[in-house]
Amino acid sequence: MTAAEAAAKGRAQPARERKRIAVSKPVKGAAGKTGAWRTFKPVIDPEQCNQCGLCQLYCPEAAIDENLEVDYEFCKGCGICANECPKKAIRMEKEER
């Protein structure tokens, strides 16, 4: 979605057009990649999301990037992002393994 389309819909500009503060990147730790721990996975609803970026800031694994895409290699399914989302735009889905 372009900035003009976003403005027409009353939504914030797309994330890649906005500057965010730097956050750390996820890395493999002594216990492996934290994505292996997950039983529920977060799914962001782009229609509800206003791209505020809070989920990215609160994620303890830095598993949400600046484009608000979840890295499931490192997302451990804790649900903090869903709890902190002011728009309730993240639902936790049972993981199919």
Residues that bind ligand SF4 (CB under 6 A): 42, 44, 49-55, 59, 61, 63-64, 68, 70, 75-81, 85, 87, 89-90
Least distance (Å) from ligand SF4 to the CB of residue 58?
6
**Complex with ligand SF4: residue 14 or 79, whichever CB lies closer:** 79
| Closer residue to ligand SF4, CB minimum distance, 23 or 54 | 54
- State the sign of the Cα–Cα–Cα–Cα dihedral 51, 56, 57, 59: positive
Least distance to ligand SF4, CB of residue 60, Å = 6
Q: How far is the CB of 70 from ligand SF4 (least distance, A)?
A: 5
Distance CA 37, CA 35 (A): 5
Distance (Å, rounded) from C-alpha 19 to C-alpha 16?
8
Nearer Cβ to ligand SF4 (13/50): 50
Residue 58 amino acid letter: Y
C-alpha–C-alpha distance, residues 92 and 32, integer Å: 23
Separation CA 97–CA 38 (nearest Å): 10
